[in-house]
């Protein structure tokens, strides 16, 4: 585990926070696959289409079940979703508090133009207006700390891929 991109204590939750195209999934790929929870994956499992937003409630239930399963066993978790809405973060923080586990955030504070360009190069392109709207919801590091994240890491440029060896 020495090649992890940041220290993640046993039982900790790491919430990735940023707009589509900001580098969250590339960053998450540096962690073991069993640690990573991703709504796109669960939407795809439910509908064969990770972009099908109608499957988000089911995907969120799956994510919460897996989150609870891992936290109950004191296992590390990386939540690889946008996590841009305050109510989503509040729900995540409530679960983490219930299990009395450490929680940190990685804030992907990349410029909108960078996220838009990265998004345009992906296999599944999020409509540019959605990227823009989500980018506008980006919280500050101080806001995340006030919400209850014990530590906030800020990333302001796109992360290069270098997955963890498993």
pLDDT digits over 128-141, tens only?
898 999 999 999 99
Give 124-130 contacts, CB < 8 A, sequence gap 24+. 124/40, 124/50, 124/51, 126/20, 126/21, 126/51, 130/20
Other CB atoms within a 10 A radius of the CB of residue 36 amount to 20
| Listed range (59-63, 75-79, 104-108, 121-125) with the worst mean pLDDT | 121-125
- Considering the entire predicted model, what is its pTM? 0.89
In the structure, how many helices (H) and strands (E) does the chain have? 7, 5
pLDDT at 33 over 60: yes
User: Residue written as tokens 């500050």?
Assistant: 140
pLDDT level of residue 83 (50, 70, 90 thresholds): very high
């Amino acid at each position: 585990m020495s090649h992890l991109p940041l220290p993640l204590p046993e039982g900790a939750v790491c919430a990735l926070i940023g707009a589509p195209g900001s580098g969250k999934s590339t960053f998450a790929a540096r962690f073991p696959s069993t640690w990573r929870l991703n709504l796109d994956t669960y939407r795809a499992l439910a509908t064969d289409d990770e972009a099908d937003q109608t499957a988000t409630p089911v995907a969120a239930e799956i994510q919460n079940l897996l989150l609870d399963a891992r936290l109950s066993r004191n296992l590390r978790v990386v939540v690889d979703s946008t996590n841009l809405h305050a109510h989503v973060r509040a729900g995540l923080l409530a679960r983490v508090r219930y299990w009395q586990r450490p929680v940190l955030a990685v804030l992907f504070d990349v410029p909108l133009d960078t996220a838009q360009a990265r998004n345009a190069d992906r296999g599944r392109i999020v409509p540019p207006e959605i990227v823009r709207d989500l980018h506008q919801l980006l919280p500050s590091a101080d806001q995340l700390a006030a919400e209850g994240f014990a530590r906030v890491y800020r990333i302001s440029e796109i992360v290069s891929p270098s997955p963890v060896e498993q």
